[in-house]
Amino acid sequence: NRFSPTLNITPFISVHIQYNKIGACGSCWTFSTTGCLESVTAISTGKLVPLSEQQLVDCAQDFNNHGCNGYYDEMGMVDAVATRNPVSFAFEVTSDFMHYHQGVYTSTKCHNTTDKVNHAVLAVGYGQDNGTPYWIVKNSWGPYWGIDGYFLIEMGKNMCGLAACSSFPVV
């Protein structure tokens, strides 16, 4: 493997994100998307350019393709994160995820298909815990959820469809 076995790019990415209550709006994808673009721009230019999640919500049309006209496998995601490029991904949130607060999340309740994804987040690193590889992920639910607003999810199994609905910009 040409990359470090663990990595967290949080110190290199945009940290201005304000946590907003999005309720049942379904706009989590805007936080994931703008966070990814803000971070890549800040890393490449050294300047933080805040983007508007609300503008994406206001301008989005009903595209009904879940952002999945093709996908990156998880090694493609590792390649991106290892080069300090956060990855936006969507996955299926099930009831067991709602109460996450620590450890590596793995689920037998979720599916690994694109038709069940219902939440978007931002992968900012990866690591291993007792031999289990995981992604370090920033969520949009605020700093009091999970591990200060982040969570760890098992890597390498397309857990809950995360690799099937991933994307990242190339700057």
What are the E-state strand segments in 61-117?
A: 87-91, 104-105
Asked if 1 is an active-site residue, the reply is: no
Cα-Cα-Cα-Cα dihedral sign, residues 14, 18, 19, 23: negative
Among 28, 36, 110, 160, the one annotated catalytic: 28
Among 36, 85, 139, 158, the one annotated catalytic: 139
Instruction: Give the other-Cβ count within 10 Å of 11's Cβ.
Output: 9
Asked if 28 is an active-site residue, the reply is: yes
Asked if 69 is an active-site residue, the reply is: no
Strand partners, 120: 90
Q: What distance in Å separates the CA atoms of residue 129 and residue 139, rounded to the nearest whole number?
A: 20
Among 85, 119, 158, 165, the one annotated catalytic: 119
- Catalytic residues, by residue number, are 28, 119, 139
